Each structure stands twice: as C-alpha cells, then as structure tokens.
Amino acid sequence: MGLQKDFLWGGATAANQVEGGYDQGGRGLANVDLLPFGKDREAVMAGELPMLSFDKDHYYPAQKGIDMYHHYKEDIALFAEMGFKVYRFSIAWTRIFPLGDEAKPNEEGLLFYEQLIDECLKYDIKPLVTICHFDCPIHLVKEYGGWKNRKMIDFYLHYAETLFERFKGKVYHWITFNEINMLLHAPFMAAGLVFEEGEDREQVKFTAAHYELVASALATKRGKEIDDKNLIGCMLAAGDNYPNTPNPEDIMAAKLVDRESFFFTDVQVRGYYPAYALKELARKNIQLDITEEDKQILQQNTVDYLTFSYYSSSVASGDPKVNELREGNLFPTLKNPYLDASEWGWQIDPLGLRITMNTLYDRYQCPLFIVENGLGAVDVKAENGVVEDDYRIDYLGKHMKEMIAAVELDGVELLGYTSWGCIDLVSASTGEMKKRYGFIYVDAENEGQGTFKRSKKRSFEWYRQVIESNGDCL
Ligand code: BGP
C-alpha cells in the first residue's frame, strides 16, 4: 500500500516569479515583466489597463524575482538536500526568443537552461518543464495582439520545438501551458490580451483560447515526434465548485462554473469541443475560427497526462443576489462556513483535494500530476532566526494525506506532487514577496530590497522526511 516507489515528489516555480535578471543574457521583455507592483496590478493582469512599455520609475517584481538567475546552483542543491525527485520550473520564452518572432534562438538563453537542467540531473532530479507559464513576449503583444492572433500558434510551436530539440534526452516531462483556464480570468497576464475599446471581450478570450488549444496539441505532436519518450501534459487551475445549498438551482450553478475550466481540459484530454461549450459559444454569438484541420489536430494529439494546481475549493449559488457576496481575486467564491481561510482569503480544504482528484480522474481516466499546492503566508523569523512554519506543515500534511487517500482508497492514478513555491518567490496575483510558500526562506522584501540570502524553514526538514518515507511518516 502507499504511493508507488517512483512517485515524483518535488517542488515548483515559474521563471518570472523567481529568476530576476530580466535584462541579462539577451533576454527580451514579456507581458509578465510589465505587471506593476501595487494597486494597478489586477487591472493590468485583466487587460483593462494597457501597460506596454517599461516605466523606469516603477518597481516590477519580475525585475529581481528572488534572483534565481544567479542562485540556481545553490537552490537546486537545497532541493536535492530535501530529496526532490522532480523540479518543475518554467522557461522564459524571451530568454530563448527575445522578440518572439525570430527564426534563430538566443544561444545564451538556451545555455542558461541547459546548465540548470544539468544541475538537476547531477542530483537525479527530473526536470518538469512548463513551456509557457503566463509569459508572452511583449513584441508579440504589440505587433500581433498576443493570442488574439492565429500567427501565435507558429511562434509558440517554433519555440516549443526548439526546446524539445535542445533538451532531448534530458527532459521527458513537459507542460504546454500553465493554468490554461486562467486566460478567462486574467487575460493580459495569461495570454497577452489587451482589449480595444468596444471589442467583444468574450469573443477575444475564446478566440485566444482556441489558438492556445491548437498550439498545445501541435506541441504535443512535435514533442512526441522528436522523442517518443516525451510525456506531454496540460495544466488546469483546479478545485471543485460546491453548491451553496442542496437546492438544484445551486447545484446547476456550481456545474456551470466548473465548465468554465473543464472546457479546456475536455478539449486537451478528449480531443474535441464538448457539446455544452459549442452551445454556450453559439448562445453568446461567439464565432470561432475553427478549421477542419484544427479539429483533426485536436483530435489526434491529446495529452499524456493532466497536471493541475489546487489551492482551494469554491462555492457557487444559483441565486444572483447571493452570488453578489462572492469575494476574492481571480476566482471569486462564496464563503464556506465549514472552512478556515488563509490570510489572503483562500479557503483551506484538504478533503477538497481528494474530491477534486476524484472529479478529474472520473472525468478523464488519465494519469494526474499535482503540480501546485501550498499555503501563502506571512512568515516571521523566531528569535533563533528560523521560520517556525508549523501552519505550513499542517496545511501541506493534511493535503498530502488526502492525496494519498485518493490514490489508496479511490484508485486515482497519480504520478507526482510538486508543492508550489518550494522556495519563497514573488506572488503572481499580488506581486508581493510577503506572501510566502517556501520551505526555503529568501531574505527579500516586497520591492526587491534584501540580501537574497537563503535559509531553511522548519518545514524544510519535515518535507525531507515526507519524501524519504514516501509519505508514510504523515
Ligand atoms: C497559480 C500560478 C502560480 C502561483 C500560484 C499562487 O495561479 O500558476 O504562478 O503564483 O497560483 O498564487 P499567488 O502567487 O497569487 O499566491
């Protein structure tokens, strides 16, 4: 009993939240470099406040991240000390193609990731590469409108092929797009979409979604042609939606919210647009540029596994007045009276992870991989200089127990678990450093001040033991 012997324990990060070095190594600028720190961040993420050029007087969190660009060897050594079997990271598109539409890649960028990958392999840590974690070269946004434009499929494919070729024999686990469903909630951050006045936003978002789906399927095809040992997955921001009451109206409402996310994975795992999505698009009068060739591409190139993030469940009501009480950024939800919440209002629901795993496995019957889960919290060092993060140990331990229950008791097929922000990093939604997730503390403050020195939190040794015992010590 228990998890399989080769279960992939590890941690996850994203380039723009950790690397820094935004203008080094020939790197170009991306949408994620222009997400400001402070009050405008959410409006910019949503594509409502076009911010397409770098303002020297402003601090952008991606400028410094946690300076992993210069600390990666030290960081990977610490991951190895915890016993990581896998490290999920993303490649910054603009390190490889600074503008995005060049024919020739930037060798310095490829070399950086090659060294990072070699450093992982030195410790027997498998690299799990996210090809696109929210980033889109700013040149592609300005010249082509980001993912509004079908040409993006070719640019993305050329970028993905370059990675498959270069890292052949070293990387076997790939994710095409991070949290693809985030495109509907944060369209500038997730897909480089900026809305023109009077533009039909739904039309733009679903057009971009279609192009990303085709690009993802084509990357799956090319990745497997280049090396048939490659495993290519999709990635969903997951978490079941509960009905507010047993009223059938609420149950239907929860189902409808779920569909906004499942729409993406239904296409990526099953290979075709589900009937409910076609009806919904027609009702909204959204015309998609879906060609016969696109349909074939989607049908023939479904993913090998489904990866997902899980932070919380949510609650929906069929009553519009009740729904007005929904709160929270990105994924607004009603309060669940049975759950506590994090300092950022994300409701903590370990059993929800087991429920979500069952929902996904029942729906798709394909291997799952939890690639993000964790607690964002304000960490304070105790007098001994150590962050005694028992709250994080509690959160993660409870989630891991439910994860193991889903495998042992429900028969869900699960390849691995990478906790989000295994080392402190910049928060995607708020741009803050003070929302910390790591087992490793980084001495950096909200606006890039600090020594960037790394130190172990109490959870570091705890996670080491979890991995060593393959979850048995929980
Ligand atoms: C997911 C993203 C990550 C990450 C995480 C936590 O949506 O894939 O990039 O940051 O959420 O969110 P936050 O950083 O806002 O706490």
- 315-334 pLDDT tens trace: 999 999 998 898 876 778 99
Q: 353 in ligand 1 pocket by Cβ < 6 Å?
A: no
Regarding the beta carbon of 438 and ligand 1, being less than 6 Å apart is answered: no
- Pick the catalytic residue: 19, 119, 372, 402? 372
Residues 6+ apart with CB under 8 A from 368: 305, 306, 307, 308, 357, 360, 361, 412, 413, 414, 415
Q: Give the span between the Cα atoms of 457 and 460, in whole angstroms.
A: 5
Q: Whose CA is nearest to atom 9 of ligand 1?
A: 428
What topology is assigned to 8-468 in CATH? Answer: TIM Barrel (3.20.20)
The helix/strand/coil state of 173 is strand
Q: What is the pLDDT of residue 5?
A: 96
- pTM beyond 0.95: the answer is yes
Residue 424 in contact with ligand 1 by CB distance below 6 A: no
Nearest to 258 by CA among 300, 299, 314: 314
Query: At which residue do the structure tokens 């690639």 appear?
Result: 371
- The domain spans of the chain are 8-468
- pLDDT for the residue numbered 53: 85
- Residue 329 CB: number of other CB atoms within 10 A? 16
For residue 286, how far is its CA from the centre of ligand 1 (angstroms)? 29
Dist CA 439 CA 324 (whole Å):
37
Question: Which of 93, 96, 116, 92 lies closest to 106 in space, CA to CA?
Answer: 96
ipTM for the assembly = 0.98
183, 208 Cβ separation under 8 angstroms: yes
CA distances from 332 to 252, 277, 313 (A): 17, 22, 11
Q: Report the alpha-carbon distance of residue 132 to residue 175 in Å, rounded.
A: 8
Ligand 1 pocket check for 428: Cβ under 6 Å: yes
Which atom, in ligand 1's list, is nearest to the CA of 435?
16
Burial class (CB within 10 angstroms; exposed 0-12, middle 13-18, buried 19+) of 378: exposed
CA of residue 389 to ligand 1 center, whole Å: 20
pLDDT score for 327 = 83
Residues 6+ apart with CB under 8 A from 267: 213, 273, 274, 298
pLDDT band at 57 (very low <50, low <70, confident <90, very high): confident
Distance 429 CA to ligand 1 centre (A): 6
Ligand 1 lined by 427 (C-beta under 6 Å): yes
* Cα 180 to middle of ligand 1, angstroms: 13
How far is Cα 445 from Cα 265, in angstroms, rounded to an integer? Answer: 37
Q: CB-based contacts of 102: which residues, under 8 Å, 6+ apart? A: none
In this predicted model, what pLDDT tens digit does every residue of 90-149 receive, in sequence order? 999 999 999 999 999 999 999 999 999 999 999 999 999 999 999 999 999 999 999 999
Ligand 1: which atom is nearest the Cα of residue 374?
6
**Alpha-carbon distance values, 393 to 111, 237, 259, 284, 351 (Å):** 36, 23, 32, 45, 16
177 CA → ligand 1 middle, Å: 14
Helix (H/G/I), strand (E/B), else coil: 183? helix
